[in-house]
Amino acid sequence: MAKKTVLLLCSMLTILAGTIISPALPKIEEIFTDGRDISLIVSLILTLTSLAIAIAAPIAGSVADKVGRKPLLLASLFLYGLSGGVGVLLGSLEKILISRIFLGLAVAGVMTSATTLIGDYYVEEEREKVMGLQAACIAAGGAVFLISGGLLASVWWRAPFFIYFLSWPLFIAAYFIITEPASPPYSGQKGQKESLPWLSFLPVVSTVLLGMMVYFFIPTQLPFYLYKHLKLNSGYTGMYMAASILFATLTSLGYQWFHQYLSKVTITSASFFLMGLGFKSIYLFPQTTILLGSCAITGLGFGLILPNCTVWTTEIAPESLRGRMLGGLTASLFLGQFFSTLAGKFIKSTTVALGPSGIFNAASIISLILAVIYGSFSLYKRNTYETQNSSHGRKRQKGFVQQKID
């Protein structure tokens, strides 16, 4: 129980990396602007971290497989507090951006090592349950820290940076509680290396990348929309984003139940459909009360994507490659965040006629198209399976009749 608690708390740090200062971004833009448009640069405070995570996560996965899970986790937790908390002291946007790169390296190590340890410690149904709990804790932590970050940012824009130091108490807990798992048994024949199942793995990482790229419009675009066009302060911004993440927690907690009745592809289709519905509602109904419900709907959809793809990866990953494959999954998750900023900038420049909320309409269209694609593939697989079973049944019946005649 103690190990599970530490790993779940460590997982919460990954969402904290970006969300805690997201409500402060409009204020940071005001302070550091010198008369030119620096909105893209300010957004990089979030997404530059994501790019660093995406680059470092596969390397972290290799370190986890070759050096060990625990050493990687401890080093990453220490670097996390140092690189995140130093933002309290930094006096220029450039220095803050550099610190965010190092924060990204730390997050890559924390996320990869914690998720790999969960895959090592638990199997089958218990693993699905813990993976759902992990996604729920990430979402719940994001909600709590978003509200906290919004309230702190409304007092002083630097105040949210202090929360990054929470990783240091976790460093102490992990040092005494986490144990390095035994080396996984090698399942291949002697002299052979297990190969990475690219054909099965690529659809999984693509799903995570696309899902995060679309969903990340909430923390990167919604604060500016609420602040500039609806004239709401950072405290309200944190509340709206927290609503999305809290409802993501609900579906993450229920993932094991969904997986009992639906295939992974069907779950993915439903996830994108809900996200598309939520974004369309944000676009059509800009009233503050309805926006709260719209953000909640997007969270319901996104809450299933991460546990679904994490379980998917652990099922297809050879044990000796688990760290590297989960590192690749982490990379795709945060690469989606990085691409989200670039896509947001492009969409906003090409949808000026649709108004300030046009980007949310574009996000809705993208999500619904993906829902149709995954839904069609799920239906195709089901029809193929039923056809094969029907054909197999006819063959068995024919053989039985022939046997009776003979």
Q: Is residue 318 within 8 Å of residue 57, measured between CB atoms?
A: no
Residue 1, helix vs strand vs coil: coil
Give Rg (Cα) of the chain: 23
Global pTM value = 0.72
Per-residue pLDDT tens digits of the chain, which is 406 residues long = 789 999 999 988 877 777 777 777 777 877 877 766 677 777 778 778 878 888 898 898 889 888 888 999 999 999 999 999 998 888 788 888 899 999 999 999 998 899 889 888 887 778 878 887 887 787 777 777 777 777 888 788 888 888 899 999 999 999 999 998 875 444 444 444 567 777 888 889 999 999 999 998 887 788 778 877 777 766 677 677 778 888 888 888 888 888 888 888 999 999 999 999 999 998 888 777 788 899 999 999 998 898 899 888 888 888 778 788 888 888 888 888 778 878 887 887 776 656 667 889 899 999 999 999 999 988 877 766 556 555 544 444 444 334 433 3
CATH of span 2-180+197-388 = 1.20.1250.20
Spatial neighbors of 406 by CB under 8 A, at least 6 apart, are none
Instruction: Quote the pLDDT of residue 230.
Output: 75
Instruction: Quote the pLDDT of residue 106.
Output: 94
Q: Mind giving me the DSSP string for 104-122?
A: HHHHHHHHHHHHHHHHHH-
Nearest CA to 328 out of 182, 115, 118 is that of 115
Tokens in use for 328?
Answer: 């690749």
Instruction: Quote the pLDDT of residue 183.
Output: 59
Q: Is residue 341 within 8 Å of residue 40, measured between CB atoms?
A: yes
N-to-C CA span, the chain: 63
Spatial neighbors of 84 by CB under 8 A, at least 6 apart, are 17, 99, 103, 106, 161, 164, 165, 167
Cα(279)–Cα(326) distance, integer angstroms: 29
Instruction: Quote the pLDDT of residue 398.
Output: 46
Instruction: Quote the pLDDT of residue 406.
Output: 37
Instruction: Quote the pLDDT of residue 384.
Output: 67
Cα(338)–Cα(330) distance, integer angstroms: 13
